[in-house]
Amino acid sequence: METGRKAIDRFDAALEQSAKYIKPHLPTLARFLLCSTFLEDSMRIITRWDDQEYHLEYDQHFSHYGTVSFLITNVIVMVICSTLAILKKNTEYAVGGLFGIVLSQCYGYGLFFNKSWMLRSISVSGGLLMLLADSMSAAKKRELFAPLLTNSIHQGGLKGNKTNILQLFGRSLLVALFLSFMIAGEMTMTRCVVAALSFVGCVMVVVGFKAKWSAWVLLTFLCVSNVLLNNWWTLHHEDPQRDFQKFDFFQTLSVMGGFLLLVNSGPGGLSIDSKKEF
C-alpha cells in the first residue's frame, strides 16, 4: 500500500513538472476547445442554411418563420456567448446562453431519444459547469443559484460552497461521454479492456481521487480516439457521414476542454483529493 502511494506521488510530481510550461495557457485553450462545437455549429448553419431549413420545416414541422427565427437566434447566441466565454467576459451569462442552445437544439432537432447525442450533450454541459465554477472561483462574484436550490443543497448536508458544488456536478456530468464508448459497438476483448479502464478513470474523476492525472489519462484517450474515429477530413465532401463525424469531432473537442479545466483548477473541495490524509 505504501509503495503504491509513493509511486502515485512520484507520478503526480512528474506530471506537475512536465505541465508547468503549458499550465499558464491551459485556461484559454480549455475555453476555446469547450466553445469549439458551438462555433463550428454556427458556421454549419450559415454554410448549409438550405439543408437546415429543409430539415426543420419538413422533418420537424417548423413554420418558415419559426425556422428562420430559430436558426438566426442560434447563430447569434452561439457566436456571442462563445466569444464572451473565451475572452472571460460575463461568463455567467455566456454559460447560460450556451446551456440554452443545448436545450433548444435538443428540442428543435428532435434529439431527446438520440442516445449518443444526449450523452455527448451531457458531457458538454458538464464542461460548461466546470467553466462556470472556474469563473466563480476566480472572480468570487455574486451567487448564481436561486435561493430554493441553495436551500435544498444546504438541507441535504453538503458543506461546500457553490463553486465546489458546481465542480462536483460538472465533473460528474463530464464523464458521460465515456458511457457511449462502453456500451456502443461489439464487445470485443479490446473494447472490454478499454471500457474497464475508462470506467475506473471516470469513477476516480467523479469522486475526485487523483482527479488531475485521471483527467489527463481520459483526455489523452479522447484525443487519440477522436482523431482515429472521427476523422471527417478523410471523407469526401459529399459523403453523408462527413457531417456526422465532423459534429462528433467538435463535440469531443468541447468535452476535452472540460477535462482541461478540471486539470487546471482541480476537483474542488467536495472530493477525496481535498482531504489531507490522501
Higher pLDDT, 186 or 220: 220
Q: Per-residue confidence at 75, pLDDT binned at 50, 70, 90?
A: very high
Question: What is the reported pTM?
Answer: 0.84
pLDDT digits (tens, 9 = 90+) for 26-52: 889 999 999 999 999 999 999 999 999
What is residue 191's predicted lDDT score, i.e. its pLDDT?
Answer: 74
d(CA 102, CA 194): 29
Q: Per-residue confidence at 187, pLDDT binned at 50, 70, 90?
A: low
Q: How many CA atoms lie less than 13 Å away from 68 in the CB half-sphere?
A: 2
